Amino acid sequence: MNLTYAAGGELLERYRRAWLSFDGDAWVGLFGEDAEYYDGPFDRPITGRDALRAYLLEASERQSQLDVTFERHWVVPPTVLAVWHASYVHRLTGARVHLAGFMTFELADDLRVARFREWYHRRETPAG
């Protein structure tokens, strides 16, 4: 595995672009066949590409005007760690949602994500 700081940044940018465009093919292409995606520290993992695609589809149904920024990242092979924030308008309520948190991407030898974990805080501002 040749996981460099630059390669970690490229992974984060591909993740960001896939999320912003809700591109299911690009999204699942980041993950290995049996990847585990933990949306929170106490949640059961989302496992497998079909479930990951469904997760992104669900996000697309509630998120509009999405913005995602990675503030800083670190690479400690085989892991990429990142501080991030995002905001979007909730499609159903019109509320502005702000997220800020930390992500880890544990990579397999082929540099696909084997295990993803995130922790975040959420603040919602009502519409109007």
- The secondary structure of 12-58 as a DSSP string is HHHHHHHHHHT-HHHHHHTEEEEEEEESSTTSPPEESHHHHHHHHHH
The predicted pLDDT at position 110 comes to 92
The predicted model scores a pTM of 0.94
The predicted pLDDT at position 1 comes to 65
The predicted pLDDT at position 127 comes to 84
Domain coordinates of the chain in residue numbers? 5-125
Segment-wise mean pLDDT, segments of 10 residues, the chain, 128 residues = 92 98 97 94 92 96 97 98 98 97 96 96 91
Beta pairing class for 79-90 and 96-107: antiparallel
User: What fold does the segment set 5-125 form as a domain?
Assistant: Nuclear Transport Factor 2; Chain: A, (3.10.450)
